[in-house]
């Protein structure tokens, strides 16, 4: 098996395919799909989205300085694809995808009710990189679906059915392979094995 020097390009996959809502809930608003998004800072909490300037939503975000990232699930997969290939200039994607607008707390953009997580963002900087412009934004509020919060107030995000985008295809999350830090945690089962082995050993006879 040999490595081939492939042409330079964007091969960083998989990615979160999110629905970004923008505009004014009481005026013109739109939804569009973004896969080029990511976490960039913890304190203050910040994320980024990368958008082509010719997209209909670009001017809405640039003029208002705000947007909402709505995480997507298996149930939202069709809407996620539709909102990525249809323009808000031609169709009301809220109506076409039967998605519900609900008010945000810190921005004028609507939240997607059907999404398990809504992240309100206010733009702090725009970097004009080339084909895409990078919106750096501070997270000003987060909403989560209470269905996935247990009695200990723990939010079970991975039970919401999140999807990912990889090289032109959408995928649901697969089997869990481990938790953060599992590679360096001590394995208590080793002690149990030693105990079991000790039980199997026959006791030595008393010397006469």
CATH at residue 63: 2.30.110.10
pLDDT of residue 186: 81
Predicted confidence (pLDDT) per residue in 55-80, tens digit: 999 999 999 999 999 999 999 999 99
Does residue 184 fall inside a structural domain? Answer: no
Residue count of the chain:
208
d(CA 66, CA 122): 4
Residues of the chain with pLDDT > 70, as a percent, come to 90
| Rounded distance between C-alpha atoms, residue 66 and residue 23, angstroms | 8
| Average pLDDT value for residue range 137-158 | 96
- 167 domain-assigned: yes
**Is there a domain that residue 54 lies in?**
yes
Average pLDDT across the chain, whole number: 91
d(CA 69, CA 139): 10
pLDDT at 135: 98
**138, part of any domain:** yes
Distance between CA atoms of residues 158 and 56, nearest Å: 32
Asked if the structure places residue 203 within a domain, the reply is: no
Q: With bands split at pLDDT 50, 70 and 90, how would you rate the model's confidence at 14?
A: very high
Range of the structural domain that residue 114 is part of: 15-172
Averaged pLDDT, 133-149: 97
pTM, full prediction: 0.87
Quote the number of domains for the chain. 1
Domain assignment present for residue 157? The answer is: yes
Q: 7 lies in a domain?
A: no
Residue 98 lies in a domain: yes
């Amino acid at each position: 098996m040999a490595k081939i020097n492939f042409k330079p390009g964007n091969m960083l996959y998989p990615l979160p395919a999110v629905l970004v809502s923008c505009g004014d809930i009481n005026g013109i608003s739109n939804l569009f799909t973004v896969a080029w998004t990511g976490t960039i800072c913890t304190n203050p909490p910040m994320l980024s989205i990368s958008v082509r300037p010719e997209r209909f939503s670009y001017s809405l975000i640039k003029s208002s300085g705000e947007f909402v990232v709505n995480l997507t699930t298996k149930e939202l997969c069709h809407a996620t694809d539709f909102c990525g290939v249809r323009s808000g200039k031609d169709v009301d994607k809220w109506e076409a995808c039967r998605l519900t607008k609900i008010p945000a707390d810190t921005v004028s953009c609507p939240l997607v009710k059907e999404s398990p997580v809504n992240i309100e963002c206010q733009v702090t900087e725009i970097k004009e990189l080339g084909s895409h412009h990078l919106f750096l934004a501070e997270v000003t509020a987060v909403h989560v679906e209470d269905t996935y919060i247990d009695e200990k107030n723990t939010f079970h995000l991975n039970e919401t059915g999140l999807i990912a985008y990889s090289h032109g295809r959408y995928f649901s999350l697969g089997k869990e392979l481990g938790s953060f830090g599992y590679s360096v945690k001590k394995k208590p089962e080793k002690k149990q094995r030693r105990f079991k082995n000790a039980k199997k050993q026959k006791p030595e006879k008393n010397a006469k």
